[in-house]
Structure 1
Amino acid sequence: MTRTSLNRCSELTAVLAVLALLIAAVAPAAAVSVQETDVPDSGEVDSQVTATVTMTELYDTYETWQLAGRTELRNVTWTVTFLNQAGNQVRQESYDGQNFSGATVDIDEGTSEVRVRVTGTVPAVEAYSYDPQQSFTLLALDQTREGGTSNELTNRSATHYTADSREAREAMDSAREAIDAAGNPETAEESFASAVDAYEAGNFDNAASLAERAESEANQAESSRQRTQLIMYGVAGLVVLGVVAGGVVLFLRNRGDGYDKLG
């Protein structure tokens, strides 16, 4: 092998080594697996809810790390349960408050699964929104290490409502469906937009009334459209019948003229 070939091989080896280092540096670390064991999608204001998640594959990145959690629930209790491979409890820790930290996950303890349960009261709605619907942080968990490094494991939101806001929203959802089915008539869209404004202002009775009006306008527009369509079909049918009748008359007339000539 010539000196030039050796130099080229050396350069190629160096380039490949640098690329390998770069890939290793930017490759994402394997994440802890989080399964939602029991996580509600929504909750009524001032009601108590419970959410539970289970974490496995705990040591793909670190053999020892700390778990931290946060929520916007009120009157909160956290329960963190550490289990071994046989499913037996290694230990259990409890925390009060919207935030907790310092729950240590250590491979030397034999922990292979961590179960986190948070129980609390659904918070009041600060600002109502129709689309997207207002929500709050139900459960968020972070993997932390000494020195300040942190990796978010999960962040789960849930919608919240009152009995009045839910009733108004159901009326609006029904109206929205009717409006879309009717081809989005302008009058119904205007009433629906007013319903959204009322809903987001917290005026739920007015929002429900406007939604019902929008749905009625949409249904009327749909009925009118169907009547117009039937009339058009009827007119088209009459035209076709007229053409056919005219053709028959013309045929019979021509046929009669033919007989006269033969006679």
Structure 2
Amino acid sequence: MNSNHSSKLLTLLLATTLVVSAVAPAAAVVSVASSDAPSEAEVGEDVTATFTLEQPFSEYEEWTLNGATELEGVTWTVKLYDQADDKVGQESYDGQSFNHSLSTDSNANEVEVTVEGTVANPGNFSYAPPQQALLAELDQARDGGASQAIESWQFRPYTTESDEARSALDDADAAIADAEDSGADVSEARDQFDSAVSAFDGENFELATDLAGDAGETANSAAESNQQTQMLLYGGIGLVVLVAIIGGALWYRSQQDSYDKLG
């Protein structure tokens, strides 16, 4: 390859790289964390969670913070802190979503977002995977630019009845697994468990609890029956071995008696 051709190829590659760099948007770099976001909460319970965004202007000098939640009766509070941890701004918003404009003019070094609301009934319960609800989702949006997700948090909403049914299902599932590991036939218990799960998903939690209890009892009975069968089997084998030993001893003694008479 001659130097002319190499030079043209290098120039083309450089130009292409510059074009790609100019077109590709820079990824937002906003560090966010929460130490009190719940993993589960009861329907009707009041929940509060706080999220801290560090280095909010590491990429953009101006942008809009968007937030959304599936809680009800919601209040959002946005607080701004400078490098000395002094509060330099605060705004509150009502509703399941909010928009808050951010700018370097605020001298903010940290943004603290607090969401307060009541856990709503999810309306569709699921045993596996467990139903989830959106606690909070924070996005970064720029004027004329696309919105980018910063982070989102979910939790499992439950009622007293659904939690009791879930516990019963968990216990039954563990009992079935133990019985299966012991070699027992758990097909009947599995059928009962599947029916219990269907009842749970249909929000018939009382029936789900009862069926899960039946499944656990069936699994335990199968395990006990299998254990008794194994004990009888081992006992039978032991008896056969014992009879063989005694028979061998008697035969050996008879042979010795016969030898003594011949002598």
> TM-score over 0.5 for the alignment?
yes
Decide whether the 8 Å contact of 2:28 with 2:148 is kept in 1: no
In structure 2, the residue matched to 1:90 is 88
Q: How does 1:86-165 map to 2 (within 5 A)?
A: 86-101=84-99, 103-165=100-162
Q: Deviations over 1:163-185 (max 9, x none)?
A: 11111111111111111111171
C-alpha change, 1:105 and 1:258, in structure 2 (3 Å) is: farther
Q: Is the aligned partner of 1:210 residue 2:207?
A: no
Distance (Å, rounded) in 2 between the aligned partners of 1:112 and 1:224:
67
Gaps of 5+ in 2: none
In structure 2, the residue matched to 1:190 is 191
The code of the aligned residue for 1:229 comes to Q
Q: By how many angstroms is 1:248 displaced?
A: 3.8
Q: By how many angstroms is 1:144 displaced?
A: 0.5
In structure 2, the residue matched to 1:234 is 235
Q: By how many angstroms is 1:218 displaced?
A: 0.8
C-alpha change, 1:257 and 1:168, in structure 2 (3 Å) is: same
Q: By how many angstroms is 1:239 displaced?
A: 3.2
Partner residue of 2:178 out of 169, 181, 199: 181
SS in 2 for 1:37: coil
Decide whether the 8 Å contact of 1:74 with 1:122 is kept in 2: yes
SS in 1 for 2:74: strand
Q: By how many angstroms is 1:27 displaced?
A: 8.7
Q: Which moved more, 1:189-198 or 1:211-220?
A: 189-198
What's the TM-score, normalizing by structure 2?
0.87
Distance (Å, rounded) in 1 between the aligned partners of 2:204 and 2:215:
16
Decide whether the 8 Å contact of 1:56 with 1:114 is kept in 2: yes
Decide whether the 8 Å contact of 1:135 with 1:160 is kept in 2: yes
Q: How does 1:60-99 map to 2 (within 5 A)?
A: 60-99=58-97
Distance (Å, rounded) in 2 between the aligned partners of 1:94 and 1:167:
37
Q: Which moved more, 1:251-260 or 1:137-146?
A: 251-260
Q: By how many angstroms is 1:7 displaced?
A: 2.7
Distance (Å, rounded) in 2 between the aligned partners of 1:43 and 1:96:
21
Distance (Å, rounded) in 2 between the aligned partners of 1:34 and 1:242:
75
Decide whether the 8 Å contact of 2:125 with 2:201 is kept in 1: yes
Distance (Å, rounded) in 2 between the aligned partners of 1:132 and 1:191:
19
C-alpha change, 1:241 and 1:142, in structure 2 (3 Å) is: same
Q: How does 1:220-259 map to 2 (within 5 A)?
A: 220-253=221-254
What is the aligned-residue RMSD (CA, Å)?
A: 2.5
C-alpha change, 1:26 and 1:188, in structure 2 (3 Å) is: farther
Runs of 4+ in 1 over 4 A off after TM superposition: 18-28, 249-261
Q: Which moved more, 1:15-24 or 1:53-62?
A: 15-24
Distance (Å, rounded) in 2 between the aligned partners of 1:239 and 1:23:
83
Gaps of 5+ in 1: none
Q: By how many angstroms is 1:86 displaced?
A: 2.0
Distance (Å, rounded) in 2 between the aligned partners of 1:5 and 1:92:
65
What's the TM-score, normalizing by structure 1?
0.87
**Share of identical aligned residues, percent?**
40
Q: By how many angstroms is 1:256 displaced?
A: 5.2
Distance (Å, rounded) in 2 between the aligned partners of 1:210 and 1:238:
41
The code of the aligned residue for 2:87 comes to Q
Distance (Å, rounded) in 1 between the aligned partners of 2:246 and 2:9:
89
Q: By how many angstroms is 1:8 displaced?
A: 4.9
Distance (Å, rounded) in 2 between the aligned partners of 1:153 and 1:170:
34
Distance (Å, rounded) in 1 between the aligned partners of 2:78 and 2:257:
101
